[in-house]
Structure 1
């Protein structure tokens, strides 16, 4: 089965030249990471049980001491949760894909002029955001010292938690992949690509791996939306070595970022090899959400962790994070054993442990209900973005990444997601205004658009 995600003009039911790959279905985006999390959880338990972890560092390296109980009741509750999330997201997604933007709008937003204007607007926002962020960082700490002592987390601590000018740095998540797309299309100077990528790397040092990984997803979704006929007859097909190379580069970049941010932490735990550091970090990153989900789910089903929430107060679970009062959500700097009512073992430095568990702990069972209502909306936005041209469809990658993170954190309500969706809408509006009807007539006269359309 495959789904057609290329831009469709109103009333146009002809076969399209671009189709999405299987992984763009919400079920795949949501459930594959869940499977990866539980696989990593089981693997780390087996690895450390075989005596492969350095002595005395079990908690630091795998993220928990005592494995959570794997019970039928706990697994059943998790299956119901993830099944409901997938069904609701898929309904919204299919509704979004069913929309048909007007031919004029598609023509406006797929022209080279629009794509360049759209990119430069986002690049300008990115530059302002990163410049301001590092201005705040240099006022609070030494960048050189933080890099040489592998304490890059000091960068994040130097920035305010609230939304502000520094939030604009997240625009790099869109700017970098769009720049690569336009460069491959031969309509953008390589210098702008280099600048956009450098801004993304600079932001990744502040925002950890999230910005880098989300940008990769944005680029892949963007490329999926590119009609084959627009790339040229000499377009090379994707080969296995392309994927292997991309994965290797990503792993090396994450290894470097992890070494800069957490090198001292892993040395104290008895690990000195940067690659081994990244493997342990990635393993624990994947495994702890499964550990917490299983522990909390089992406790709920046994009746030892009961938090119904409130019909009114729990609405905060579905509000943008910057609108939720700080006192309604637990501080994330360091979580303790009491964070989940003593129902599960985990290291206190892991703070994004499970959307399922965190929503219940912060907002109760009513919070689950309000959170579930977000998924049809998110699915609709995801599908709707995919019906437009490549640069707009790239923003669907933001929602795709949110779906892929459901196993550990709720990103749909986070300021970064709200900001990127709003940034897309604003930049589309501003850039499209530059495409006047006169310019469309010029496109027709040059043969870029059929006059009969």
Structure 2
């Protein structure tokens, strides 16, 4: 995608021409990749080989249990309702509809983050694991109504906040599907899913950026969707090799200066996790930070891999998505990952140590008898 032709400007790429890396820069980039793979492998093996008794968690917080799934879903609805009330208060219902229909859905996100702070609003991210769990149950025809509600909630989150919540959900869902031996994945199903995902992301892109694409001469649904993919994939690689070559000269640069040095369009904000960390901390600190996150993140994945029958297994796909996006953005340090991980652990602990009302009433009846 980095080398893909722009066909005379008919396709947007997010940068004017490919950045030419130096030999040292290429070595630094290769070292970055090798280090991540090596430490991720070591961390996962360390977590997966721990001797952990999962019987209690499997019994109280099973993937098949309704209670943890319901709690996860309700918390997601609370966060989403809170955000929607904020948007209605700022833009009004008419303003929200006009922004979506008029291809200006980014205005919703800008409004949301104009005075944003972590809290109840962050709970909307729980729509990601609850939608993944909902799709998992739908394949088995379980909890159908709640499953559809979670899918709708995810769609709203994708429109008002982040299109990538769709991809995040897929990465959370895949381990659940692959781990379920009764679910068979056929090639035709994969192709249909890919076509559907492309159209879904293209539609979300159209609702957000069609005004921008029209301003640069692209007024075609498919061409805009394909251009977004090329920009999404190619520009981060541009930032990656630029950071490897320029390294500490990018430290503490402004957005404008960084854009000039790397050749990436100014409006793009997720242009390689390596570039992001180098700009914020310097090259050495960037290596140290990603080394620590790679080991600890994969260590947690190793532990969740041993919990394939309970709610903690959702962490496998969630943390795995951080690795899947490491070429583009440093998700390890973002609130979306903290919210999902912490809340899944808290819900697990709650369901283990706090008995359900039904369970308590049953014990009281037995005691009375």
C-alpha distance in structure 2 between counterparts of 1:343 and 1:162, whole Å: 32
Q: TM-score, normalised by structure 2?
A: 0.89
CA 1:349–1:306: 2 relative to 1, 3 Å: closer
Residue equivalent to 2:129? 174
Deviation at 1:174, TM superposition (A): 0.6
Deviation at 1:52, TM superposition (A): 4.1
CA offsets, 1:80-124, max 9 Å, x none? 011111111111111111123315325414647x72111101101
Is residue 2:304 matched to residue 1:381? no
- The secondary structure found in structure 1 opposite 2:249 is coil
Is residue 2:89 matched to residue 1:135? no
C-alpha distance in structure 2 between counterparts of 1:103 and 1:93, whole Å: 18
Please say if residues 41 and 286 of structure 1, whose CA atoms lie closer than 8 Å, have aligned partners that are also in contact.
yes
Deviation at 1:201, TM superposition (A): 0.3
Please say if residues 311 and 344 of structure 2, whose CA atoms lie closer than 8 Å, have aligned partners that are also in contact.
no
- The secondary structure found in structure 2 opposite 1:42 is coil
What RMSD over aligned residues (CA atoms) do the two structures have, in Å? 2.3
- The secondary structure found in structure 1 opposite 2:15 is coil
Residue equivalent to 1:273? 220
CA 1:373–1:236: 2 relative to 1, 3 Å: closer
Residue equivalent to 1:361? 279
Greater than 6 Å deviation, 4+ residue runs? none
Residue equivalent to 1:91? 42
Which protein is richer in helix relative to its size?
Answer: 2
Aligned pairs, number: 352
5+ residue gaps in structure 1? 1-39, 229-234, 308-328, 443-453
Deviation at 1:143, TM superposition (A): 0.9
Is residue 2:176 matched to residue 1:215? no
C-alpha distance in structure 2 between counterparts of 1:115 and 1:101, whole Å: 21
Is residue 2:65 matched to residue 1:115? yes
Residue equivalent to 1:291? 238
C-alpha distance in structure 2 between counterparts of 1:263 and 1:352, whole Å: 19
C-alpha distance in structure 2 between counterparts of 1:129 and 1:370, whole Å: 30
Deviation at 1:149, TM superposition (A): 1.2
Residue equivalent to 2:111? 158
C-alpha distance in structure 2 between counterparts of 1:306 and 1:179, whole Å: 43
Please say if residues 254 and 278 of structure 1, whose CA atoms lie closer than 8 Å, have aligned partners that are also in contact.
yes
Please say if residues 61 and 348 of structure 2, whose CA atoms lie closer than 8 Å, have aligned partners that are also in contact.
no
Could you tell me which of 174, 186, 209 is aligned with 1:239? 186
Is residue 2:145 matched to residue 1:195? no
Alignment of 1:254-269 (within 5 A): 254-269=201-216
Deviation at 1:408, TM superposition (A): 1.2
Q: TM-score, normalised by structure 1?
A: 0.73
Is residue 2:101 matched to residue 1:148? yes
Please say if residues 273 and 326 of structure 2, whose CA atoms lie closer than 8 Å, have aligned partners that are also in contact.
yes
Alignment of 1:48-87 (within 5 A): 48=6, 51-54=7-10, 61-87=12-38
Residue equivalent to 2:365? none
- The secondary structure found in structure 1 opposite 2:2 is helix
C-alpha distance in structure 1 between counterparts of 2:130 and 2:184, whole Å: 25
C-alpha distance in structure 2 between counterparts of 1:167 and 1:422, whole Å: 12
Could you tell me which of 30, 36, 41 is aligned with 2:2? 41
CA offsets, 1:34-62, max 9 Å, x none? xxxxxx1011xxx12xx4423xxx7xx21
C-alpha distance in structure 1 between counterparts of 2:54 and 2:249, whole Å: 54
Deviation at 1:272, TM superposition (A): 1.3
Please say if residues 222 and 391 of structure 1, whose CA atoms lie closer than 8 Å, have aligned partners that are also in contact.
no
Could you tell me which of 254, 262, 272 is aligned with 1:344? 262
C-alpha distance in structure 2 between counterparts of 1:147 and 1:370, whole Å: 38
Residue equivalent to 1:224? 178
CA 1:146–1:330: 2 relative to 1, 3 Å: farther
Deviation at 1:382, TM superposition (A): 1.1
Residue equivalent to 1:445? none
Residue equivalent to 1:422? 342
Deviation at 1:351, TM superposition (A): 0.6
Could you tell me which of 378, 402, 405 is aligned with 2:325? 405
- The secondary structure found in structure 2 opposite 1:67 is coil
CA 1:429–1:103: 2 relative to 1, 3 Å: closer
Deviation at 1:236, TM superposition (A): 5.3
C-alpha distance in structure 2 between counterparts of 1:206 and 1:267, whole Å: 21
- The secondary structure found in structure 1 opposite 2:190 is helix
Residue equivalent to 1:371? 290
Please say if residues 100 and 387 of structure 1, whose CA atoms lie closer than 8 Å, have aligned partners that are also in contact.
no
Please say if residues 65 and 345 of structure 1, whose CA atoms lie closer than 8 Å, have aligned partners that are also in contact.
yes
